[in-house]
């Protein structure tokens, strides 16, 4: 039977590996289970079983430098998770953005520029405002990031405020919405004479991808934060 002080020792070891709390909880469960199995099956003391489990995780929890994630070192285990989740969320963001551009391409060829402008305004507003609405409607949960700023609660918190960070740029976008819509409309209909004018397409794609990526991170953050709330009382 693993005692409370021993559980605290496992927890402190995993905290030293700078795992996000949601991942730490899962890894902690594995450590406890494996240590208990070794104590029962091989009749080992807690210290010996703990050392054996740490050895089995040594490679996965080895710390390496990864400036793309944070200024701190990161474990190989966490690096794999960051890579997998980043690719997954960006892939979802790209698919949604590409589908939206196809929708606007259809609109530009079958409807007037006025209808295109109204549609463009509506969709762009939703893409920018939905992450803002989700953030402020769950402000109490997002404030936990600052409250527990000595810890990384979950990987998803990194980009949960991306729309807020870029809000100034989006305000400029709305101020010039009609001009941008017209340029985008002409680009989709291949009416420009110079290649530079077609830059509205990648700019639009970037705008959508960043906001959708922000929204997906927020959504996953809110899911994970509900799982770790009972654990937060153990953090100083």
pLDDT confidence band for 68 (50 / 70 / 90): low
Averaged pLDDT of the chain: 90
**CB-CB contact of 111 with 181 (8 Å):** no
pLDDT exceeds cutoff 80 at 197: no
pLDDT exceeds cutoff 60 at 134: yes
- Average pLDDT of the residues in 207-213: 93
- Average pLDDT of the residues in 193-218: 88
The first and second tokens of residue 172, run together, are: 């400029």
Percentage of residues in the chain with pLDDT exceeding 70? 96
- Residue for token digits 């936990």? 144
For residue 69, the model assigns a pLDDT of 53
CA distance 9 to 85: 29
**Helix, strand, coil % over all residues of the chain, rounded to 5:** 75, 5, 20
pLDDT confidence band for 70 (50 / 70 / 90): low
Sign of the C-alpha dihedral, residues 27, 30, 36, 42? negative
For residue 71, the model assigns a pLDDT of 52
In tens, the pLDDT along 136-182 reads 999 999 999 999 988 899 989 989 988 888 888 888 888 888 988 99
In tens, the pLDDT along 32-45 reads 999 999 999 999 99
Query: 0.85 cut: is pTM over it?
Result: yes
E strand residue ranges, 42-147: 63-65, 73-75
For residue 236, the model assigns a pLDDT of 64
The domain locations on the chain are 4-61, 78-234
More reliable by pLDDT, 22 or 195: 22
**CB-CB contact of 181 with 121 (8 Å):** yes
CB atoms under 10 Å from CB of 2, counted, come to 16
Nearest to 159, CA basis, from 148, 145, 171: 145
């Amino acid at each position: 039977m693993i005692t409370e002080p021993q559980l605290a020792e496992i927890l402190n070891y995993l905290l030293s590996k700078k795992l996000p709390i949601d991942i730490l909880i899962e890894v902690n469960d594995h450590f406890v289970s494996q240590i208990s199995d070794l104590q029962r099956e091989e009749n080992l003391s807690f210290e010996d079983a703990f050392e054996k489990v740490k050895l089995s995780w040594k490679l996965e929890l080895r710390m390496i430098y990864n400036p793309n994630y944070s200024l701190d070192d990161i474990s190989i285990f966490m690096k794999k998770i960051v890579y997998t989740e980043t690719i997954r969320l960006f892939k979802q963001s790209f698919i949604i953005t590409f589908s939206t551009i196809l929708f606007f391409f259809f609109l530009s060829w079958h409807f007037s520029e006025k209808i295109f402008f109204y549609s463009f305004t509506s969709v762009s507003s939703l893409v920018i405002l939905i992450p803002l609405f989700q953030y402020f409607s769950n402000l109490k949960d997002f404030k936990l990031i600052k409250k527990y700023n000595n810890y990384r609660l979950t990987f998803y918190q990194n980009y949960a405020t991306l729309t807020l960070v870029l809000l100034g740029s989006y305000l400029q976008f709305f101020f010039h919405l009609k001009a941008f819509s017209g340029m985008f409309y002409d680009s989709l209909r291949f009416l420009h004479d110079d290649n530079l004018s077609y830059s509205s397409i990648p700019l639009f794609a970037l705008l959508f991808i960043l906001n959708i990526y922000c929204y997906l991170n927020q959504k996953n953050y809110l899911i994970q934060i509900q799982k770790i709330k009972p654990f937060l009382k153990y953090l100083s």
